[in-house]
Chains A and B, each alone.
Chain A
Amino acid sequence: MPLAAAITDVEQLKDRPELARLLAWRAVAVEGAKFDRGELSVYIARNAVREACAILRDDPELKFNFLSDVTCVDWYPSAPRFEVVYHLFSLPRIARVRLKVKLGGDDPTLESITSVWPAANFFEREVFDLFGIRFEGHPYLRRIMMPEQWEGHPLRKDYPVEGYR
């Protein structure tokens, strides 16, 4: 089966319930959307991600009550450099949505969503450890995988595979 082209037009996608809910809540917070390989991604403004997560979690029809994953992609050297990726899952509906936040390389800070899902605790610590993204409001933002005194953030693209010698 050949792959269908990705849809990146918000107008075409606005009937999808997840996107419609976010647009109705605050249209300026939605920076874009993409539907590719059966998966919906919504780009959210940096300062709105915590509230967007809470909206999707508490909506009586969407019920995205489970945080599957938080991770990050480094697009170095293009700008904005980082994309923080949230995978939300609805246990009652068995549906998924992906939220993405773009972050510049010089000040990679973002609000923490641990107040929405305590599950984000370890996930955000991992992103902090391996990418150097700071989550404001995280209860315990310290390295989780690497030793405390480690230098650099290994999953960044400008970090050599063999490590600094």
Chain B
Amino acid sequence: MGHLPHIASLEETGDRTMILNMGPQHPSTHGVLRLILEIDGESVVRMMPDIGYLHTGIEKTYEAKFYQQCVPLADRMDYLAPFSNELGFVLAVEKLLGIEAPPRAQWMRVLMNELTRLNSHLVWLGTHAMDIGALSMMLYCFREREDILRLYEALAGQRMFDSYFRVGGLSMEPPMGFFERVKTFAERFPAKVDEYEDLLTANPIWVRRTKGIAHMSAEDAIALGASGPTLRASGVDVDLRRDAPYSGYEKFQFKVPVSTVGDVFARYMCRVEEMRESTKIIQQCLAGVPEGPIKADAPKIVLPDREKMKTQMEALIYHFKIITEGFTVPPGEVYMATESPRGELGFYIVSDGTAKPYRVHVRAPSLANLQTLAKMCEGRLIADVVAAIGSIDIVLGDVDR
């Protein structure tokens, strides 16, 4: 992040071109992203993103926290997909420890992860369409998002930053009637997606603003490190949920939407199809939530139940020790990649054998996807920049961390 414009970095501008700063407080940059554009009339000659306005030093903060204190911090990176971040973190720590969550916890994790994907894609669709001029889309999308946020609230008491997953399981059982509420939502939701598609997919203005715009080839997408729907819309058929399953994803049947076109419209279609597939996963989840414990049998790592603490001495001791000293993790390092709504979310954790991580690095999908933006926009019109930013679906909290 710089306080001075990076004009020097764009070298001398020619006679015909000028520098235009877009952001950091621009409504369609989805947060505090600043783009430095060199423009010739209406067309973009060069572009450079300037980021870091939302940098909060989360990776440094991790090093001073116990492992269990890190989970709420993971929420706060990609704030539109909190459960995906939590899942990536707890899976990485579980891999370091060599423990596994019980089946019921894994199913709940998949369920919440897919609800989060819907939540994230709904915000993306609403804001992306609003940027391009379809203002009413946001009202429709936020209507359904509200339902999801209410489910979050029922589950964990929080609408956005839930901190519901724990290393070794979940923090608590879902409340009574929770699955029925999710079921009602999942039954209604496909009709809502039809409604969005009615408004956009065949809408001539939408099609002209998105088809053939901000094109990216598969080679470019791979070389620039794009992942998630941004990569799949360019014709690369990779989804870590299917190809490198984690948390029991191998038990679910779903399709991975792929397009070979690689423009804004293709990325739109991929995400809309993903919403339908996520709904199918949610329905499969609900059909067979296993009974059983929600916490792994690892008393030195997982907090004991309240009831046991009132009757068992050991439970009280373990509770006291975990809260005051944390739990230690054997030395080593892991890289755990999961498929967040935005792409490959990787947690690289180095442990030195103490109760605090020695180093946590987050491979943020938004940061890598942002690198593709210059490739998409150079040589095109300024108006298309707005469509391109929306189509790569970045969250600045995830970019800057």
Interface residues of A (CB under 8 A from B): 1-3, 6, 36-37, 39, 41, 65-69, 71, 73-74, 85, 87, 89, 91, 94, 96, 98, 117-119, 121-123, 126, 130, 140, 142-149, 154-155, 159, 161
Contacts and interface: CB of A to CB of B under 8 A. Distances in A.
B359 A73 contact: yes
B335 A69 contact: yes
Given A73-B358, A89-B337, 11 more contacts: A39-B333, A41-B333, A66-B222, A73-B350, A73-B359, A91-B236, A96-B337, A118-B224, A147-B3, A148-B4, A161-B60
In the complex, the 9 A-B pairs of residues with the closest C-beta atoms, listed nearest first: A119-B225, A3-B98, A69-B363, A145-B52, A71-B361, A148-B2, A145-B55, A94-B243, A73-B359
A12 B7 CA distance: 53
Contacts of A121: 371
Contacts of A161: 60-61, 63-64
Interface string B216-233: 000000111100000000
Contact of A66 (B2, B4, B225, B400): B225
Nearest to B50: A144
B60 A140 contact: no
A71 to B, nearest CB: 4
Contacts of B1: 143-148
A32 to B, nearest CB: 14
Nearest to B371: A122
Main secondary structure, interface of B, reads mixed
B344 A68 contact: yes
A41 B9 CA distance: 36
Interface string B66-94: 00000000000000000000000000000
A88 B117 CA distance: 26
Interface in B95-115: 95-100
B112 to A, nearest CB: 25
B96 A117 contact: no
Given A37-B334, A119-B368, A154 B222 contact: no
Nearest to B334: A37
A2 B98 CA distance: 6
Contact of B238 (A37, A91, A155): A91
A4 to B, nearest CB: 9
Contacts of A2: 98
Interface in B309-333: 330, 332-333
Contact of B400 (A1, A85, A117, A145): A145
Nearest to B51: A144
B272 interface: no
